[in-house]
Chains A and B, each alone.
Chain A
Amino acid sequence: MLSRARRRFLRTLAYGATVVGVSLAGFVPVLARWNRRLRPPGALKEDEFLASCIKCGQCVQVCPVEAIRLADIGDGFGVGTPHIDARDQACDFSCDGLQCVLACPTGALTHEIDYPHQADMAVARVARPAGCLAVQGKGFHGQARGPAFEGKLRYNEVDRWNPIPVRDHPYDLELCDLCVRQCPIEIRIAQCEAGKPPSGDRNQCPPQHAIELRPLDDGEGGRRMQPVILDGCVGCGVCEMICPVEPGVIVMDSSESRGV
Chain B
Amino acid sequence: MSRLIDSVAELFGRDPRRPAPDDITPPAREVHARQRNDRERIENIRIELAHKAKHKPPEKLRRIRWLVLLAVNLLFVLSYRLDIQLLEGALTASRFAGFHMADLNSALQVMLAFKHVLINLLIGTTTVFVLWWLLGGRTFCSWVCPYHLLAEWAEMLHLKLAARRLVKDHPFDRRARTLLWLLFAVLAFATGYTVFETISPTGILSRALIYGPGVALAWVGALLLVEIFYSRRAWCRYACPIGLTYGLVGATSPLRVTYNLESCFHEGECRKVCLVPHVLDTVIKGRARDLNVDIGADCTRCGRCVDTCPTGSLTFRFKGLGDLL
Contact = CB atoms under 8 A, between A and B. Distances in A.
Does A pair with B?
Answer: yes
Interface of A: 8-9, 11-12, 15-16, 19-20, 22-24, 26-27, 30, 47-48, 50-58, 60-62, 69-70, 72-74, 76-77, 79-80, 103, 105-107, 111
A174 B92 CA distance: 51
A110 B211 CA distance: 23
A49 B89 CA distance: 18
Interface in B217-238: 218-219, 226, 231, 234, 238
Contact of A73 (B124, B187, B219): B219
Contacts of A60: 211
B193 A52 contact: no
Q: Is the interface of B mostly helix, strand, loop or mixed?
A: helix
A4 to B, nearest CB: 10
A54 B196 CA distance: 11
A57 B210 contact: yes
Interface residues on B, range: 35 or more
Contacts of A8: 170-173
Given A73-B214, A80-B197, A107 B116 contact: yes
Nearest to B199: A23
Given A22-B199, A55-B203, A15 B90 contact: no
A77 B216 CA distance: 12
A54 B92 contact: yes
Contacts of B103: 54
A52 B116 contact: yes
Nearest to A54: B93
B80 A61 contact: yes
**Which residue of B90, B107, B170 has the most chain A CB atoms within 10 A of its CB atom?**
B90
A74 B214 CA distance: 10
Nearest to B184: A23
Contact of B113 (A12, A19, A51): A51
Given A72-B215, A79-B204, A11 B172 contact: yes
Contacts, number: 154
Interface in B281-295: none
Contacts of A47: 192
A208 B182 CA distance: 49
A182 B85 CA distance: 30
Interface of B: 79-80, 85, 88-90, 92-95, 100, 102-103, 106-107, 110, 113-116, 118, 120-121, 124, 170-173, 176, 179-180, 183-184, 187, 191-199, 203-204, 207, 210-211, 214-216, 218-219, 226, 231, 234, 238-239
B129 to A, nearest CB: 15
**CB-based closest 8 A-B pairs:** A56-B93, A26-B198, A73-B216, A72-B214, A51-B113, A107-B118, A52-B114, A56-B89
Given A15-B238, A23-B187, A54-B194, 10 more contacts: A22-B199, A24-B195, A27-B191, A51-B110, A52-B110, A52-B114, A54-B107, A57-B89, A58-B89, A105-B124
Contacts of A22: 199, 219
A57 B85 CA distance: 13
**Which residue of B79, B85, B192, B193 has the most chain A CB atoms within 10 A of its CB atom?**
B193
A24 B176 CA distance: 17
Contacts of B218: 73
A9 B13 CA distance: 13
Given A73-B216, A77-B193, A106 B110 contact: yes
Contact of A19 (B80, B88, B199, B216): B199
Given A16-B239, A55-B106, A111 B207 contact: no
Contacts of A11: 170, 172, 231
A8 B115 CA distance: 37
A61 B89 CA distance: 7
**Which residue of A47, A53, A105 has the most chain B CB atoms within 10 A of its CB atom?**
A105
A133 to B, nearest CB: 35
B88 A58 contact: yes
A56 B88 CA distance: 9
A27 B199 CA distance: 12
A9 to B, nearest CB: 6
Given A26-B195, A50-B193, A73-B214, A57 B207 contact: yes
B100 A105 contact: yes
Contact of B102 (A9, A54, A73): A54
B92 A56 contact: yes
Contacts of B238: 12, 15
Contact of A106 (B85, B121, B231): B121
